[in-house]
Structure 1
Amino acid sequence: MEPLSPDAGARVRLPTELILHIIECVLPANPRALIPPSHISTKTLLALTRVSRATYRQASRLLRERCLYLDSSRRLADLLLCMPRLVPTLQPALSLRHVTSLHLAPFGASLDDQPTAVWVRELFCEVCETLRRLVVQMPFRSLDPLDDHLNVRRTLRDGFEQLTKLEEFVCLGEYPSLSVPDGHTDVWRLWPGLRRLVLFGVPMNSHWLWWDIATLPELEHVVLARPQLVETTNIKDEYFHKLPREDRRLGRKIKVMLLDTAYEIPDLNTTRWKEIDPSGKMTVEVYEVPMPFYGDETPHESVTEWVKRGALDGILWEWSGNKVEVQ
């Protein structure tokens, strides 16, 4: 048999199905990873949207599902401008409104930025039907309610309240405090389908913290980073006495992880745990974040970065700490 000529070889084409499979392999193996704009996978997918009609739709879908990483107000504004746009000569791709996972950190040092707050509200109103996973980092403590003359907190709260389909919420660095005169309920309490939750700096002895955790029917995994007043709180006593004992919500399995740097979390109060939770419905674990030998990071910065990396890499919910047991 004679070998193929160079011209004949040039005419050989890969099947479209194989090309689409190759596009899928551009992404990291973990399907839960959120990929930043600087990552080679994001840049490759962007290039593939310009290669052909066959690659445009698939690459566009993956960019919407895995690469929504808005770390500045400029990126947020650009995304909103692109939402209504279509390329008339190409097949309709999945709308930018069909976002399922999102990393959002659009503010600078202060929350007192009305245009950015309005854009956040607009974004949440657009994606609320499909968004299931949100990693957010905002300077909530930087704006006192008494100084909020532009109603930034109200604007943000209106947006967060729309996310009723959310299943996973990771709030980095600060507690998402968005109380207003006629809305004191924590916004994450308003999402009935919430399954996984990360909060920073919560006072462990708060009645409302454990009431909200107990009454959210689907919640199964809670990470409390750099928690406060741990030594004065009996976690299981707080949780299991917020509802009547026969309430079905207390019958679910739930994992609570306390996360901080080594030696920062004191011994837990485990008084009467076997009596309060005889069947072990709640698992409590302590996870210690290693501090670097060199560097000037504070414990808070180290924990925030550790949780952020775990959330964006999609491995946060796989972590296991030291299980707290009653001797």
Structure 2
Amino acid sequence: MPLRSLYPEDDHNRVRPILRAAFASLKFIKEFCSVRDELFLDTVNPTNEAKVWSFWPHLEHLALYNVDVASSKFLIALRRCEGLTKLVLTRPDGLEMSIEDSDFPPLPHLQLIKIVNTAEGHRQWPLFRRLTWRSCFLGRILTESPHFSPANYMAEPAAAAQGAMAKLFNINVPIPAGREGYEAEVCQEWVRNHAVDGSLWELHGAPISRDMEETPLC
């Protein structure tokens, strides 16, 4: 459903409030995948409306496309989803942005976070090359682990695959021949296909580590 094909300012027939109410009523949903956006159901612009998926108390697995992980609305919504254990973020924005301590919610329930992108897309947003890596979204997820040791992690990237730190993964989506320049569409199709066959939540990919990010940019 292309929710961004009709923006709030163009919704003269008030279709979006109906869609928002319908999605908000899905109280018993446990898994949800939005392939082409972040489940964009705002009815006015600008808005302070909460993310609709934050109204689903039984939500365990969530996949979103191109969400801003540093936005306060996203972080507030995550805080509300106390049963959420697996989060798949495809080509997210805001990975490099610092988040204040007061804005970042405790997320002890999250067991697995997967970032889906092409290999080149991953290398454009390196985590450990930034001096402020601990204050960005992925850095905060990592350092909030009760077993986290900055010295050990920076010295031994393999630790990312052990214990409580084994929750952050990158998934590289291959670009088929002839699809260069269509990275967004290829990633969306990859997520859709794996969501349909049920494998999206089980695939881990590669643990996010310094070794991975030391690969030179092409």
Counterpart of 2:215? none
Contact 1:192/1:216 (<8 A) preserved:
yes
Q: From 120, 126, 134, give the equivalent of 1:263.
A: 120
Contact 1:253/1:281 (<8 A) preserved:
no
Give the distance between the partners of 1:326 and 1:215, measured in 2 at CA.
Answer: 31
SS in 2 for 1:184: coil
Report the CA distance between 1:162 and its aligned residue.
Answer: 1.2
RMSD of aligned alpha carbons: 2.7
Give the distance between the partners of 1:184 and 1:163, measured in 2 at CA.
Answer: 17
Counterpart of 2:40? 177
Percent identical pairs in the alignment equals 29
The answer to whether the aligner puts 1:284 opposite 2:168 as a matched pair is: yes
Q: Equivalent residues in 2 for 1:41-52 (5 A)?
A: none
Give the distance between the partners of 1:167 and 1:264, measured in 2 at CA.
Answer: 29
Contact 1:210/1:239 (<8 A) preserved:
no
TM-score under structure 2 length normalisation: 0.73
TM-score under structure 1 length normalisation: 0.50
Q: From 85, 88, 92, give the equivalent of 1:227.
A: 92
Counterpart of 1:320? 204
Report the CA distance between 1:229 and its aligned residue.
Answer: 2.5
Report the CA distance between 1:326 and its aligned residue.
Answer: 7.0
1:21-42: CA deviation from partner (whole Å, max 9, x where unpaired) = xxxxxxxxxxxxxxxxxxxxxx
Give the distance between the partners of 1:264 and 1:296, measured in 2 at CA.
Answer: 13
Report the CA distance between 1:227 and its aligned residue.
Answer: 0.8
Give the distance between the partners of 2:33 and 2:101, measured in 1 at CA.
Answer: 23
Q: Which fold has the larger relative contact order, with Cα–Cα distance below 8 Å and residues 6 or more apart in sequence?
A: 2
Give the distance between the partners of 1:220 and 1:304, measured in 2 at CA.
Answer: 22
Contact 1:171/1:199 (<8 A) preserved:
yes
Structure 2 vs 1, CA of residues 296 and 168 (structure 1 numbering), >3 Å: closer, same or farther? same
Question: Which shows bigger deviation, 314-323 or 181-190?
Answer: 181-190
Structure 1 residues without counterparts, runs of 5 or longer: 1-137, 244-249
The answer to whether the aligner puts 1:144 opposite 2:17 as a matched pair is: no
1:250-302: CA deviation from partner (whole Å, max 9, x where unpaired) = 43342111111112022125427575323337711111100012346600110
Q: From 163, 179, 183, give the equivalent of 1:299.
A: 183
Give the distance between the partners of 1:239 and 1:220, measured in 2 at CA.
Answer: 22
Structure 2 vs 1, CA of residues 201 and 281 (structure 1 numbering), >3 Å: closer, same or farther? same
Structure 2 residues without counterparts, runs of 5 or longer: 148-163, 212-218
Report the CA distance between 1:240 and its aligned residue.
Answer: 8.8
The answer to whether the aligner puts 1:201 opposite 2:85 as a matched pair is: no
The answer to whether the aligner puts 1:167 opposite 2:30 as a matched pair is: yes
Letter of the aligned partner of 2:33 in structure 1?
Answer: V
Q: Equivalent residues in 2 for 1:30-49 (5 A)?
A: none
Report the CA distance between 1:312 and its aligned residue.
Answer: 0.7
Between the two proteins, the alignment pairs up a number of residues equal to 182
Structure 2 vs 1, CA of residues 227 and 241 (structure 1 numbering), >3 Å: closer, same or farther? closer
